[in-house]
Structure 1
Amino acid sequence: MDDDDAVRVSFSAPKVDQSEWGLVFQDTCVGFGQLWLLDTLCQTFDGVKRPCAEIQLSTLLPDALDPDLDFAQAIALVPVANFSVLDLAIVADSHVFGPVVLHLLRMQPLVIRKFKLLLEEEGKTCSVNCPCDQPSNWRSESVPLTNLEMIQIVGLKGREHEVDFLKLMFRCATALKKMTVRLSDGASTNESAYEKIHSLFKEYTNVECFAYNSCGQQLLFTPI
Structure 2
Amino acid sequence: MEPSLHGAQLAAKSSEDDAGMDRLSALPNDVLLRILLRLEDAAVAGRTSVLSSRWRRLWALLPELRFHSSREPRLIASALLAHEAALSCLDVGAEDAAPESVAAWLPVAARRLSGSLVFTNRVPGKKNANEDGEERGAFELPCLANATGVSLDLGCLGVSVPRAGVFARLTELSLSRVQFRGGPCALGDAVSSRRCPCLEKLTVRDALGPSDLAIRSDSLRHMELADVRGLRRLTVVVPALEHLTVVACFYHHHPNRPVANITARQLKELRWGDMFDRRSVQLGKMKHLQCLCPDILLVYGSSPNRSCIELLRCFKVIQKLSLTLIYPPDIDDQPYLLGDMKILPGATFLHLSLTSNGHAFGASLFHVLRLCSGTRKLALKLFSDSLEEQNACPPGCICVEQQNWKTEELLLNQLRELEITEFRGSENEVTFVKQLFKWATVLKRMKLTFNSLVKESVAERFYKILQSFSRPEICMEFYMYKDMMEVLYAPED
Query: TM-score of the superposition, structure 2-length normalised?
Result: 0.36
How far the C-alpha of 1:178 sits from its partner, in A, is 0.5
Q: What is residue 83 of structure 1 aligned with on the other side?
A: 347
SS at match of 1:138: helix
Q: How does 1:80-119 map to 2 (within 5 A)?
A: 81-109=345-373, 111-119=374-382
Task: Name the aligned partner's letter for residue 323 of structure 2.
Answer: I
How far the C-alpha of 1:184 sits from its partner, in A, is 1.1
Equivalent residue for 1:58, pick from 323, 326, 329 = 326
How far the C-alpha of 1:11 sits from its partner, in A, is 4.4
Q: 1:36 to 1:126 in 2, by over 3 A?
A: farther
Q: What is residue 24 of structure 1 aligned with on the other side?
A: 295
Q: 1:195 to 1:21 in 2, by over 3 A?
A: closer
Q: What is residue 405 of structure 2 aligned with on the other side?
A: 138
How far the C-alpha of 1:70 sits from its partner, in A, is 4.5
Percent identity (aligned): 20
How far the C-alpha of 1:40 sits from its partner, in A, is 6.7
How far the C-alpha of 1:177 sits from its partner, in A, is 0.5
Question: Once structures 1 and 2 are overlaid, which stretch shifts more, 128-137 or 84-93?
Answer: 128-137
Distance 1:35 1:194 in 2: 41
Larger radius of gyration: 2
How far the C-alpha of 1:169 sits from its partner, in A, is 0.7
How far the C-alpha of 1:191 sits from its partner, in A, is 2.4
- 2:454 matches 1:191: no
Q: What is residue 151 of structure 1 aligned with on the other side?
A: 418
Query: TM-score of the superposition, structure 1-length normalised?
Result: 0.72
Q: What is residue 447 of structure 2 aligned with on the other side?
A: 180
The CA RMSD measured in Å over matched residues stands at 3.5
CA contact (8 A) 1:36 1:59 kept: no
Distance 1:120 1:171 in 2: 24
Task: Name the aligned partner's letter for residue 194 of structure 1.
Answer: E
Distance 1:96 1:36 in 2: 21
How far the C-alpha of 1:65 sits from its partner, in A, is 4.0
Q: What is residue 72 of structure 1 aligned with on the other side?
A: 341
Task: Name the aligned partner's letter for residue 289 of structure 2.
Answer: Q
Provide Cα deviations, 1:27-47, integer angstroms capped at 9, x if missing partner: xxx54456998697888xxxx
Q: What is residue 8 of structure 1 aligned with on the other side?
A: 277
CA contact (8 A) 2:301 2:337 kept: no
Q: What is residue 216 of structure 1 aligned with on the other side?
A: 486
- Paired residues in the alignment total 200
Provide Cα deviations, 1:164-201, integer angstroms capped at 9, x if missing partner: 211111110001011111111232x1524532332432
- 2:427 matches 1:171: no
Provide Cα deviations, 1:120-169, integer angstroms capped at 9, x if missing partner: 12566222222223322433333110000011011111123322211111
CA contact (8 A) 2:325 2:355 kept: yes
**Which blocks of at least 5 consecutive residues in structure 1 are unaligned?**
44-49
